[in-house]
């Protein structure tokens, strides 16, 4: 038996018991005649004590030679501590050691295994197994486990069946590049790793599984943006014989369950907003609604004066910053510099102070009188003491810029509280999205998403205006889930591929299996997938998803611990019938 107890469970109740503990040496303090050692395992820390009077000379000597992170086993008696530590669950006791076995020694770790470590991110990634010994990382992994347990419990209770789908598949175009895997047995042919189990879950519906879920790895070979992982985990779900409303209810239920069980937060029915309204009011399809500062469109009240900048703009739009009239001129100038940074790209910013006496003072007083400015305040819902910030230009650009400013200001004002949760459904996304690069329409969600009833005809005349039965679940400004009601008949699916620019041959080659399946009685179906990594991070009140992944990749998509990706040797290449060529 390696241990009778773990390092987190002994208390005053155990005083005088003989115990055996095992773990890692967190630190030791050697006063010569007395040595204290903090022994650590997953469950906590227990203080060990060795002293000249009560510990044998041999054990004393062993204790003197213990280094950080040595793995040891001790036998001893639980005694009351002279100076108690109320901040530690085991702080009332210590273990007077009579026997010490060194199970393994350890070289000095490259960073301190403390809650606040001196190790930089890259170093911690390289020695992730040491990082995992630290409470913040360990606790995040335990937290993630709790979330996935709750997901499984809830969905199982609701009648969902967890089914595994294959990892070695064929490309499904979902916007990103596939990771490909050469097949040794099929010379010159490749599998692709799934970007999501999308087509398989639809086939499970054709197969009559009715309610499916899977906590599943997905792979996307995207250019890495901050805090994206090339492999990530989804809670992937699909249901048959449902309408959109059923899906929203089912997964609102799941989210509410998680918020309650994990965070102890009860949330009312989730608000819903149309995609078009989200863009108009927040400039963003994943608005953070923990705070207001909704956009006010000012074209009507700000154009047709003599201010050319506004007159020439497609959109003039502003937000009221609560209490912003306190900002000094210098602070406002800094804000203007902030929106002009290349990352944001605004050409400038007009502002208007809302004074306590009800008067206004704007940066464009030359063109606008008090009555005009009062209208600006009305449209942006600005109160006395606020500052109205206004941007203008091309609609999409200006919305994105003001959205960035809104988030930045909310952050500065402390309005993005990590322990406040504001979920929101964003509904009726456009079916198609214009891609500048390829100069054609792409499916905004994926090609299996159904258009809103009665809109399929519009595809011919105004494809950009067609809305989809697609929805996203947004939490605190992050998209945590997205899904749609699917097309479930061969004819519509073929039409959709046609509009997306697939020839019938290409459609058949890539998705013949799905269209074939649709001929054998496909039920109406739809689903959703949650990004588990992000969901866990948000529920945990944190920003970085890497902190909730046991072995994450760095920002360049590398695993710096195992040093992957890496070249393979010529033999392997040959076996796979591959030749590396630098000529493209
Ligand atoms: N497969 C989709 C995705 O990964 C989710 C869904 O439509 O259910 O975004």
Q: Candidates 238, 239, 446, 481: which one to mutate for ligand 1, based on the most atoms within 8 Å of Cβ?
A: 446
Strands annotated E in 31-179: 34-41, 44-51, 71-80, 93-104, 161-162
pLDDT number for residue 228? 87
Q: What is the DSSP letter of 31?
A: -
Inter-residue contact 434 to 464 (CB < 8 Å) = yes
Which of 193, 442, 529, 535 most suits a substitution to test ligand 1, by most atoms within 8 Å of the C-beta? 529
DSSP codes, 336-372: HHHHHSTTT--S--EEEEE-TTS-EEETTTTT--HHH
d(CA 563, ligand 1 centre) in Å: 31
Distance 405 CA to ligand 1 centre (A): 30
pLDDT, position 468: 97
Distance 174 CA to ligand 1 centre (A): 9
Q: Are strands 161-162 and 211-219 parallel, antiparallel or unpaired?
A: parallel
pTM exceeds 0.75: yes
Phi-psi region of 47 (alpha: psi -120 to 50; beta: other; left: phi over 0): beta
Specify the pLDDT at position 172. 62
| Cis bond before residue 71 (omega within 30° of 0) | no
* Cα 457 to ligand 1 centre (Å): 25
Site to substitute for ligand 1 among 165, 201, 468, 482, most atoms within 8 A of C-beta? 482
Q: Whose CA is nearest to atom 8 of ligand 1?
A: 528
The C-alpha atoms of residue 480 and residue 499 are separated, in whole angstroms, by 29
Instruction: Using DSSP, state whether 180 is helix, strand or coil.
Output: strand
Helix (H) or strand (E) holding 535: helix 532-539
E strands along 117-219, which residues? 161-162, 180-182, 190-192, 211-219
Answer whether 382's CB lies under 8 Å from 362's CB: no
Question: How much is the pLDDT for 227?
Answer: 80
Closest-lying ligand 1 atom to the alpha carbon of residue 195 = 4
Instruction: From the CA of 486, give the closest atom in ligand 1.
Output: 7
Any idea what the Cα angle at residue 421 is, between residues 417 and 425, rounded to 5°?
130
Taking the C-alpha atoms of residue 425 and residue 449, their distance in angstroms, rounded to an integer, is 17
Report how far ligand 1's centroid is from the alpha carbon of 247 (Å): 13
pLDDT of residue 223: 84
Whole-angstrom Cα distance, residue 297 to residue 54?
Answer: 79
- Pocket probe for ligand 1: among 483, 514, 530, the residue whose CB has the most ligand atoms within 8 Å is 483
Atom of ligand 1 nearest to the CA of 449: 7
Span from the CA of 173 to the centroid of ligand 1 (angstroms): 12
Instruction: Give the burial class of 435: count Cβ atoms within 10 A of its Cβ; 0-12 exposed, 13-18 middle, 19 or more buried.
Output: exposed
- Residue of 251, 447, 527 to test ligand 1 pocket, by largest number of atoms within 8 Å of CB: 527
Helix (H) or strand (E) holding 432: strand 432-435
In the chain, the domains with their CATH numbers are: 12-104 (2.40.50.140), 139-272+424-548 (3.30.930.10), 291-416 (3.30.1360.30)
> Ligand 1 centre and the CA of 559: distance in Å?
26
Which protein residues touch ligand 1 with a CB less than 6 Å away? 196, 198, 482-484, 527-529
Q: Which ligand 1 atom is nearest residue 238's CA? A: 8
* Ligand 1 centroid – CA 49 distance (Å): 56
Cis peptide before 201 (omega within 30 of 0): no
Q: Whose CA is nearest to atom 4 of ligand 1?
A: 196
Atom nearest to 470 CA in ligand 1: 7
Task: Tell me, in angstroms, the distance from the centre of ligand 1 to residue 573's CA.
Answer: 34
Each residue's pLDDT expressed in tens, for the chain with a length of 584 residues: 999 999 999 999 999 999 999 999 999 999 999 999 999 999 999 999 999 999 999 999 999 999 999 999 999 999 999 999 999 999 999 999 999 999 999 999 999 999 999 999 999 999 999 999 999 999 999 999 999 999 999 999 999 999 999 999 997 655 789 999 999 999 999 999 999 999 999 999 999 999 999 999 999 998 877 788 999 999 999 999 999 999 999 999 999 999 999 999 999 999 999 999 999 999 999 999 999 999 999 999 999 999 999 999 999 999 999 999 999 999 999 999 999 999 999 999 999 999 999 999 999 999 999 999 999 999 999 999 999 999 999 999 999 999 999 999 999 999 999 889 999 999 999 999 988 888 888 899 999 999 998 898 888 889 999 999 999 999 999 999 999 999 999 999 999 999 888 899 999 988 999 999 999 999 999 999 999 999 999 999 998 999 999 999 998 999 999 999 999 999 999 999 898 766 65
Q: Kindly report the protein residue whose alpha carbon is nearest to atom 1 of ligand 1.
A: 198
């Amino acid at each position: 038996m390696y241990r009778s107890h773990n390092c987190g469970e002994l208390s005053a109740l155990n005083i005088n018991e003989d115990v055996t503990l095992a773990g890692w040496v967190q630190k030791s303090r050697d006063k010569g005649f007395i040595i204290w050692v903090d022994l650590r395992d997953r469950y906590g820390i227990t203080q060990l004590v060795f002293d000249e009077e009560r510990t044998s000379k041999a054990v004393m000597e062993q204790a003197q030679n213990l280094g950080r992170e040595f793995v040891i086993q001790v036998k001893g008696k639980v005694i009351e501590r002279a100076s108690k530590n109320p901040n530690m669950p085991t702080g009332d006791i210590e273990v007077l050691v009579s026997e010490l076995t060194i199970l393994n020694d350890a070289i000095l770790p490259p960073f301190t295994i403390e809650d606040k470590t001196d190790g930089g991110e890259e170093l911690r990634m390289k020695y992730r197994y040491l990082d995992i010994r630290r409470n913040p990382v360990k606790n995040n992994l335990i937290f993630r486990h709790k979330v996935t347990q709750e997901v499984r419990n809830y969905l199982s209770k609701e009648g969902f069946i967890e089914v595994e789908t294959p990892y070695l598949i064929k490309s499904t175009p979902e916007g990103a590049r596939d990771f490909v895997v050469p097949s040794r047995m099929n010379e010159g042919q490749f599998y692709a790793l799934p970007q999501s189990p999308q087509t398989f879950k639809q086939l499970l519906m054709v197969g009559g599984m009715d309610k499916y879920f899977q906590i599943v790895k997905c792979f996307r070979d995207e250019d890495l943006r901050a805090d994206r992982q090339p492999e990530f985990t989804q809670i992937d779900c699909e249901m048959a014989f449902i309408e959109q409303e059923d899906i929203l209810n089912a997964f609102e239920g799941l989210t509410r369950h998680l918020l309650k069980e994990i965070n102890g937060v009860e949330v009312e029915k989730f608000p819903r907003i149309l995609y078009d309204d989200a863009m108009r009011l927040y400039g963003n399809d994943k608005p953070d609604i923990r705070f207001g500062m909704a956009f006010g469109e000012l074209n009507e009240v700000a154009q047709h004066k003599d201010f050319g900048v506004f007159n020439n703009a497609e959109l003039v739009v502003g937000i009221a910053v609560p209490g912003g009239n306190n900002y000094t001129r210098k602070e406002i100038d800094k804000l203007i510099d902030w929106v002009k940074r290349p990352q944001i790209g605004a050409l400038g910013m007009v502002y208007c102070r809302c004074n306590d006496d009800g008067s206004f003072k704007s940066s464009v007083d030359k063109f606008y009188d008090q009555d005009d400015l009062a209208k600006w305040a009305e449209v942006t819902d600005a109160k006395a003491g606020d500052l109205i910030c206004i941007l203008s230009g091309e609609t999409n650009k200006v919305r994105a810029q003001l959205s960035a400013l809104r988030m930045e200001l909310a952050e500065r004002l402390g309005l993005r509280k990590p322990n406040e949760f504001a979920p929101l459904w964003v509904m009726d996304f456009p079916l198609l999205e214009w891609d500048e690069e390829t100069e054609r329409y792409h499916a905004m969600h994926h090609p299996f998403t159904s258009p809103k009833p009665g809109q399929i005809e519009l595809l011919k005349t105004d494809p950009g205006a067609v809305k989809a039965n697609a929805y996203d679940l947004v939490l605190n400004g992050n998209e945590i889930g997205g899904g749609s009601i699917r097309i479930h008949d061969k004819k519509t699916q073929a039409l959709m591929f046609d509009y997306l620019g697939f020839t019938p041959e290409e459609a058949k080659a890539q998705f013949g299996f799905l269209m074939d399946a649709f001929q054998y009685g496909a039920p109406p179906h739809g689903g959703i997938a949650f990004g588990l990594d992000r969901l866990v991070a948000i529920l945990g009140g944190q920003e970085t998803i890497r902190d909730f992944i046991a072995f994450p990749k760095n920002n360049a998509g590398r695993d710096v611990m195992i040093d992957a990706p890496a070249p393979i040797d010529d033999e392997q290449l040959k076996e796979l019938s591959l030749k590396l060529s630098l000529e493209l």
